[in-house]
Structure 1
C-alpha cells in the first residue's frame, strides 16, 4: 500500500500544473534576484587580482542551490496537511490498514522525490547560466558533485519539515511557514549576508546548520578552479563561508539526521497511541448507546 500511496501523492502533485509552473517560476526568480540585485553589491567588496565576476557567480550559485535544496523540501508536505484537514488520513488508516508511521514514511519518500526533481531542475538552469558566464571553469565532475551534495540537502530538508509540518494544522500557517523558510534558508546558508559580516555569536550558530556546511562544500568545489592569489585565499574563503572540511560537514549532517529520525519515531508512537485511544472511545460510545 505504501507504493500506491506514494504514487497517489506524486500524481496529485503532477496534476496541479499551475503549482508546478509557479514553483519553477519561483526558482527562476531566485536566480534573477541574484543577477540583477545581489551580484553588483558583492562584486564591490571583492579584492582586486582575481576573476571577480566568475568567482562571485560560482560562489553565489552554490549558495542558491543550497537554498533551493532545503526550501523546495517544504512544498511537498502541503498535501499531507490537506489530507489531514480533509480527514483523508483517517480513511486511509481504516480502509487500507495503514499506520501513522507508514503514512509518514510515504509522505516523506514522495517529498524527497518531488524536492529532488525541483532542485535538479534548478541546478540545470543555474549551470546553464554559468555555462554562459564561466564555461572554462565548469566540469562534468563538478556538476555530479553538486547534485550529490544537493541531494543531501534535500534529504535533510525533507526530514526537518516532516517533523515541523506535524505541528501545522492549517494551510494559512503553512503559507506563513513557507515565507519564513525562504528568508531563513538564505540567511543560514551565508548567501544573503556574507558569513564574515555576521556577529561572532551568529557565526557560531550558523556553522551548526547543515545548510551552511553543505553550501560551503558546494562553494569549494565550484570556485576551486578560479585563480586566486595565495595572499587572499584563506581570508576570502573564511569570509565567504567556503569550506573544505567534509568530515565536519558530515558530522553536523549526521547528528541532525539522527535527531530528526528520533523525533519522527516519537511523533509516530504518540500518533498511534492517540489513534488507539480514539478508537477505544468510539467503541465505548457505541456500547453505551446500545
Structure 2
C-alpha cells in the first residue's frame, strides 16, 4: 500500500504538465478575481471596513476548495490510466489486496490535494502581501491545515467513487474537464453563490464543495465583517432553503 502511495506521488509530481493542469481551475479562479471580480465586488461592498482583506480571504477560501477538488481528481485519475495500460491487473497478481491497492490511490491523492493546497495558499498569500499589504496571520493555521486534510480526503474519496467505474481515458478526460469547469461555480468563487439563480443556489448547497469553501471563509473572515445577508450572498454562511 505504501509502495503504491509513493509510486503515485512520484508519477504525479514528475509530470509537470499534469501538476499545472490539475491547478488550472484554481489558477483561473484566482486570475479572474485579480483582473475582473475584485473591482466589481469592491464597488458592490463599498464602505465595508477592511474590504480588501475580506475579499482576499473570500477568494482564498474558494480557491483552496477548488484546489482540493481538481488536484485530488487528477491524483485518482492514475487509477484509470493503470486500468487502460493493464498495470492494475498486474498489481492484483501480487500479494497486495484490492483494498490496500485502492487505499494507496486514496492516500496518495489525498496527500496531493493537501500539498497543492499549501502551494496555492503560499502563492496567494505572497501576492496579497505584495499587492494589498495584507500579512498572513498564523493563528488560524492549525485549523486551516485540518480543513485542507479533510477536504483532500473527501475530494479523493469522491473521485475514487466515480473513477473506479471509468474504463477509458477519453471518459476520464471528459470528466476531468467537467470537474475543472464546474468546481469554481460549486464553491462560489467564479461568482458569489448569492448571484446565482435560485435553482443553481439550491444545487450548489447540496454539494460538499460549497461547505468546504464556507468553512475556510468562516475561519478567515471576522464574524462581524459583514451582516448575515451578505454572508449568505458571499457563501460564508450557507442555509438550505426549501
SS in structure 2 of the partner of residue 167 of structure 1: coil
SS at match of 1:217: helix
> What CA distance in whole angstroms lies between the structure 2 residues aligned with 1:64 and 1:219?
11
Superposed, 1:42-57 pairs within 5 Å as 42-57=41-56
Give the match for residue 234 of structure 1.
Answer: 228
Q: CA deviation at 1:203?
A: 2.8
Unaligned runs of 5+ in 2: none
TM-fit CA distance, 1:205: 3.0
8 Å CA contact retained: 1:217, 1:244: no
Distance change >3 Å, CA 24–CA 198, structure 1 → 2: closer
- For 1:83, the equivalent position in structure 2 comes to 82
CA shift in 2, pair 1:113/1:200, >3 Å: same
Q: Does 1:111 align with 2:105?
A: no
1:32 CA displacement: 2.2
Aligned-residue offset at 1:212: 0.9
- 2:161 is aligned to 163
TM-score after normalising by structure 2: 0.87
Distance 2:21 2:52 in 1: 30
Cα 1:108/1:167, change in 2 over 3 Å: same
Query: For 2:72, what is the secondary structure of its paired residue?
Result: coil
Distance 1:23 1:197, change over 3 A: closer
SS at match of 1:4: helix
**1:9 to 1:196, Cα distance in 2 relative to 1, 3 A:** closer
Distance 1:26 1:105, change over 3 A: same
* Per-residue deviation, 1:97: 2.2
Give the CA deviation at 1:66.
1.0
Contact 2:32–2:190 under 8 Å retained in 1: no
Whether contact under 8 Å (1:220, 1:244) holds in the other structure is no
Q: In structure 1, what is the Cα distance between the partners aligned to 2:197 and 2:212?
A: 21
Q: Distance in 2 between matches of 1:198 and 1:26?
A: 19
Q: Rate the CA distance shift 1:150–1:100 in 2: closer, same or farther, 3 A.
A: same
Q: Give the superposed CA RMSD.
A: 2.5
Deviation at 1:48, TM superposition (A): 2.2
Match of 2:122 in 1: 124
Is residue 35 of structure 2 the alignment partner of residue 36 of structure 1?
A: yes
Contact 2:26–2:67, Cα closer than 8 Å, also in 1: yes
1:66–1:215 contact (8 Å) kept in structure 2: yes
Corresponding position: 1:73 with 2:55: no
Task: Report the Cα distance in structure 1 between the residues aligned to 2:83 and 2:147, rounded to whole angstroms.
Answer: 32
Count of residue pairs brought into register by the alignment: 239
Pairwise mapping of residues 109-258 of structure 1 onto structure 2 (< 5 A)?
Answer: 109-132=107-130, 133-135=132-134, 138-224=136-222, 228=225, 233-243=227-237
| Bigger shift: residues 47-56 or 188-197 | 47-56
Instruction: Mark the CA change 1:177 to 1:194 in structure 2 (over 3 Å): closer, same or farther.
Output: same
CA distance in 1, matches of 2:188, 2:106: 27
Specify whether residues 202 and 119 from structure 1 end up closer, same or farther in structure 2 by C-alpha distance, changes over 3 A only.
same
More helix by share: 1
